[in-house]
Amino acid sequence: MNLLIHDLDEKEWGQISQDYQGWEVIAPSKEIKPCAGCFGCWLKTPGECVIKDGYNRMGYLIHKADELVVMTRYTYGGFSSFVKNVFDRSIGWVLPYFRIVDNEMHHKMRYPESKKITVIFRGHDLTKEDQADAKHYVEAVCRNFNGVIKDIRFEETTQLQEVKESSAGSQPASDMASGKTILFNGSLRGDNSNTSKFLNKLSESIGEEAETISLVPYLNKPEELVQTLSGADKIVLGFPMYVDGIPSEVLKVMELMEKICPPGDKKIYTVVNMGFYESCQIKNVLRQVRKWSQKCGFSYGGGVAIGGGEMMGALIQTINAPAGPVKYVVEALQTLGAVIGNSSAIDDIYADAYKFPRAAYMFMAGRGWPKAAKQNGLKKKDLLRRIEN
C-alpha cells in the first residue's frame, strides 16, 4: 500500500487524482482534530491516538505504507496546517523512549523500519533560501521518524491575488495600535502546560502589563482570536514543538493572521519548548516564525528555545530555579522580557539544562513512562505495543 497526504482543493486534486489510483489518500477535512499533547497515544492506547475522529490510526497507516508521498503548500519553510496536523496526530508511530541520532535525542521506533518519503512543496517563486529551509525541515522530521528521503521537489503554483480581509476594516494598522502586549499560550494543555509556566516567568521580567491569552477557548472561533491578537503592538507566541515544527492549530492561527491582518509596526517574539534535551533542535521552528513575521509585514524581535521542556517546566517556579538545571532558561526569559519591555530585538537564545547531563535526563525520562502508564492500568511491555490490523 502506498500513502498520499495532501492539502489540495477539489479542483487541484481532480487534475492529478488519476496518478494516484489505488493509493490510500488523506485529503483535507474539517473532521480532523488537533493533537492535544496529552501523550495518550503512548500512555493510554499505545500506538494510536485517543481522539476517535477517523485520524486516530495515522501512525499505523504510515507504518503500513510501502511508500509515503506528502504534497503540501509551502508554509513558512514547512508543511501547511492540515498536513502538519496529520503528522502531529501520527506521533504514536514512534515510542516515548529516546535514542541518540547524529548526537541528538530522538524517539525510538515502534516498528523496526525505515520509511521512504517523497515531499512535494507547492509555492510561488520560492527562493533558494526557501527551498533550503524546507529541506532542512524535512530532514529533521525524517531524522526523528527514521524516514528515508526519496525525493524533495518544488512545484510552481499561480500566485493568488488576494485582498486582505481585515476584520477591522480599512483602518490603518498604526491607528489600531493599543500599546498592548499579548502573551499567547498556544498549547492545548492550557494553564497546565509547560508553555504557561514559561510565559508566567517571562511576564515577571517585561516591566509592563502584559495580557496572557490561551488558544484553548478560541479553538472554534479563530477569527475572534486573530482580531484580539491584531490589536496588540507586541505578541509573544508561546508553544511546544510538535514533530519538529509549529503545532498545527497555532500554524492555522498564523495562516489566518497572514490573510487578514494588515502589515504594520507589530513586534513578534516567541518562546518554544520541547521534550528533547537539545534546544538547538528548535532552530527550524524559530526560522519559521521569523519567515511568517516577514510574510505578514511584522518585525521579528527574537525568541527563546528551551530544551528538556518537561523537566524545565517542573523546575521553573521553584525557589532555587536561578541556580538549578533551569538556570539558563530563567536567564534567557529574563533577557527576552527586558527586550520586550524596551520593544527592541535580540538574536534567538538557545537554553539547555545547566549542569544536568543528557544521560541523566534520558534515564529519568525512561523511568517515568512506565510509572505514568501504570496509572492507566498498563504494564511496561504495553508501551511497546505494535498494532497488527
**pLDDT 10s digits, 272-321:** 999 999 999 999 999 999 999 999 999 999 999 999 988 999 999 898 89
Give, in order, the Cα–Cα distances in Å from 2 to each of 25, 70, 208, 247, 319.
9, 11, 54, 26, 54
Q: Which of 363, 257, 266, 346 is nearest to 305 (CA)?
A: 346
> From CA 209, how far away is CA 207, in angstroms rounded?
7
Q: Is this prediction's pTM over 0.85? A: yes
Amino acid sitting at position 283 = K
Q: What is the pLDDT of residues 118-138, one digit of tens each?
A: 999 999 999 999 999 999 999
Position of cell 491575488?
Answer: 161
Average pLDDT over residues 174-201: 87
Average pLDDT over residues 220-239: 96
Q: What is the mean pLDDT of the chain?
A: 93
Burial of 64 (0-12, 13-18, 19+ CB in 10 A): middle
Query: How high is the pLDDT of residue 265?
Result: 82
Residue 75 has what DSSP assignment?
B
| Cβ 199 vs Cβ 212: under 8 Å | yes
Query: How high is the pLDDT of residue 262?
Result: 87
- Asked if the model's pLDDT at residue 168 lies above 60, the reply is no
CA dihedral for 217, 219, 221, 224, sign (positive or negative): positive
- Asked if the model's pLDDT at residue 170 lies above 90, the reply is no
> From CA 118, how far away is CA 23, in angstroms rounded?
14
Greatest pairwise CA separation for the chain in angstroms: 63
Alpha helices in 72-148 (DSSP H): 81-88, 128-145
Query: How high is the pLDDT of residue 75?
Result: 98
Question: What percentage of the chain has pLDDT greater than the value 70?
Answer: 95
Measured in whole angstroms, how far is the alpha carbon of residue 299 from the centre of its chain?
Answer: 21
| Cβ 89 vs Cβ 60: under 8 Å | no
Given pLDDT bands bounded at 50, 70 and 90, which one contains residue 264?
confident
Q: State the cell numbers at 380.
A: 511496561
Strand partners, 4: 25, 69
Query: How high is the pLDDT of residue 113?
Result: 93
Q: State the cell numbers at 327.
A: 538556570
> From CA 358, how far away is CA 264, in angstroms rounded?
43
Neighbouring C-beta atoms of residue 358, cutoff 10 Å: 19
Given pLDDT bands bounded at 50, 70 and 90, which one contains residue 34?
very high
- Asked if the model's pLDDT at residue 164 lies above 70, the reply is no
Query: How high is the pLDDT of residue 303?
Result: 98
Query: How high is the pLDDT of residue 320?
Result: 87
Q: What is the pLDDT of residues 77-118, one digit of tens each?
A: 999 999 999 999 999 999 999 999 999 999 999 999 999 999
Q: To the nearest 10°, the Cα dihedral for 281, 287, 292, 297? A: 150
Give, in order, the Cα–Cα distances in Å from 20 to each of 15, 94, 110, 143, 227.
11, 27, 28, 27, 40
> From CA 59, how far away is CA 271, in angstroms rounded?
28
> From CA 354, how far away is CA 326, in angstroms rounded?
6
Which helix (H) or strand (E) segment holds residue 101: the answer is strand 94-101
> From CA 125, how far away is CA 118, in angstroms rounded?
21
Q: Which of 136, 120, 121, 113 is nearest to 62 (CA)?
A: 113
- Asked if the model's pLDDT at residue 381 lies above 60, the reply is yes
Position of cell 524533495?
Answer: 152
Query: How high is the pLDDT of residue 176?
Result: 46
Given pLDDT bands bounded at 50, 70 and 90, which one contains residue 161?
very low
Given pLDDT bands bounded at 50, 70 and 90, which one contains residue 73?
very high
Query: How high is the pLDDT of residue 160?
Result: 53
Average pLDDT over residues 148-176: 64
Average pLDDT over residues 220-236: 95
